[in-house]
Structure 1
Amino acid sequence: MGHFFLRGVGRRAVRGLSDFGKLLLSLLKRKKRVGLYVDGFNLYHAIADLNKPHLKWLDLRALAERLIDRRDERLLRVVFCSAYPTHLNDAKKLERHQDYIAALEARGVECYMGQFKKRPVTRCRSCNHAWQTHEEKESDVMLALQILHDAHLDRVDQVYLLSGDSDFASLARLFREEFPNKKFFSVSPPRRPHSKEVLQHAHGKRRLRLTTLEKCLLPSEVQDARGRILSVRPVEYDPPS
């Protein structure tokens, strides 16, 4: 009788361990670590062309969560590179940009800012009129460095680059050569084509739809965990009524 009892307990224990083992294996199954890297100016101009200013109040973390496949991927980083438009002498535009950066950082997005630098003076050959132009510098380089740095430190398994800029083709090529076990995906801004040069080296592509952006807007007030207001949506970005 006692022998039978022990045998019964043993069978139940084996079954229990088997179920636990299956659960453990499922928990230990390694999801691919994903980073979304956003070319701020490329995305901004794509949205500006849509004539829908409320989409500029875009929650990039929410967008990244919709972009990945949660069954097989987990979001590790969202990186945003841009530059403040200090050269425009437009205080309101600068303030809107600062409000947006504050909102993104409150959502856990890592923001790296470049700068605008003066270009050589342009002069009209016909009337000799001269004007000063500026060029955004550093943000593309910072974005590329963040991608390569994360790959080198093995922080990510897959990179999603949100940009239509062909200047990133050399980055995609180098990434594929140096990190053969990782993947590089091109993400095109809404109603903008992918860079053909980038696609030559990318493992795949994703396209952002307008409806997706509409579902990923920041709230009117962005708060921290304690309920403190960190950023307020500019009235220019209020959704249409």
Structure 2
Amino acid sequence: MGTVAAYIDGFNLYYGMKSKYERRYLWLDLVELVRHLRPKDEVVRVRYFTTIVRGEPAASANQINYVDALRAHSGDLLDVQIGWFKKRTLSPCKLCGAHWQCACPRRPRTFEEKETDVALAVSMVEDAAAVLADLTLLISADSDFAPAVAALKRMRPGHPVILAMPSGTLKPHKRFDDVGYFTINETALRQSQLPERIYDPLAKRQRSRPAKWF
């Protein structure tokens, strides 16, 4: 038995679950998920990196409710770090060359997520340098983290890094050189759900699974 520290790319995990299972497992207990994925290890820290959505009031309210429920339920084992969205100036359509309000089949994005990927990479390397845990578990399929993983391995040769890829991703990008990996299955998600109601002592209220998250 060893110790594990986990680093969760919130949006990568969210879109992986939503694309395969819709909203069925979004009320996810992140600490319990890591325990399920590494049953023989002691979880010493779970760091969750996300950003509150903009332009969708109902969705952002559900997300804030979820983050507060996580914090209330998990205590000091969970560290939540929230980034921000930056407005983007939309370029002309690459299909027809017209202004972005055209009829071409695409999804223009008006905001881009900032800081969360950098914060995750920095935290992962810092914790490895501080010998926080015996093993690093990265929950993401984003190849942008490959340089951070490579830096961690150079700094601590022999320190194991495992990639837990969100549902729908079967194989990591080739940039993840010499990294163990597996895909998070539906059983792990189903068995790692938060209680339906969680008391939040800071807000002095109950927090419940959103009605759409079933």
Q: TM-score, normalised by structure 2?
A: 0.86
Please give the alpha-carbon distance, in whole angstroms, between the structure 2 residues aligned to 1:79 and 1:149. 12
Percent identical: 28
2: distance between equivalents of 1:217 and 1:225?
20
Contact 1:60 1:78 in 2 (8 A): yes
The answer to whether the 8 A contact 2:170-2:182 is kept is no
What SS class does the counterpart of residue 50 from structure 1 fall into? Answer: helix
Q: Which residue of 2 aligns with 1:138?
A: 115
Deviations 1:33-64 (A, max 9, x none): 21111100000100110243121111111111
Does the CA contact (< 8 Å) of 1:36 and 1:78 recur in 2?
Answer: yes
CA 1:121/1:154 → structure 2, altered by over 3 Å: closer, same or farther?
same
Contact 2:2 2:134 (8 Å CA) reproduced: yes
The structure with the largest helix share of the pair is 1
For 1:162, the equivalent position in structure 2 comes to: 139
Q: 1:132 Cα shift?
A: 6.5
Q: State the partner residue of 2:99.
A: 128
8 Å CA contact retained: 1:186, 1:194: no
- Any conservation in 2 of the 1:169–1:197 contact (CA below 8 Å)? no
Q: Which amino acid is 2:99 matched to?
A: N
Alignment of 1:1-241 (within 5 A): 31-70=1-40, 73-86=41-54, 89-106=55-72, 107-108=74-75, 109-124=78-93, 126-129=97-100, 133-202=110-179, 204-223=180-199, 229-238=205-214
* Structure-1 separation of matches of 2:53 and 2:141: 21
Residues of 1 paired with 2:20 and 2:44: CA distance? 30
Structure 2 gap ranges (5+): 102-107
**Kept in 1: contact 2:91–2:99 (CA 8 A):** no
Give the Å deviation of 1:187.
0.6
CA RMSD for the aligned pairs? 2.1
Kept in 1, the 8 Å contact 2:50–2:81? The answer is: yes
For 1:217, what is the secondary structure of its paired residue? coil
Structure with the greater relative contact order (CA < 8 A, sep ≥ 6): 1 or 2?
Answer: 2
Equivalent-residue separation in structure 2 for 1:76 and 1:168 (angstroms): 21
Query: For this pair of structures, how many residues does the alignment match?
Result: 202
Bigger radius of gyration: 1
Range with bigger deviation, 94-103 or 43-52: 43-52
**TM-score, scaled relative to structure 1:** 0.77
Structure 2: which amino acid aligns with 1:233? R
Query: Where does the alignment leave 5 or more consecutive residues of structure 1 unmatched?
Result: 1-30
Corresponding residue SS for 1:55 = coil
d(CA) in 1 for partners of 2:138 and 2:175? 10
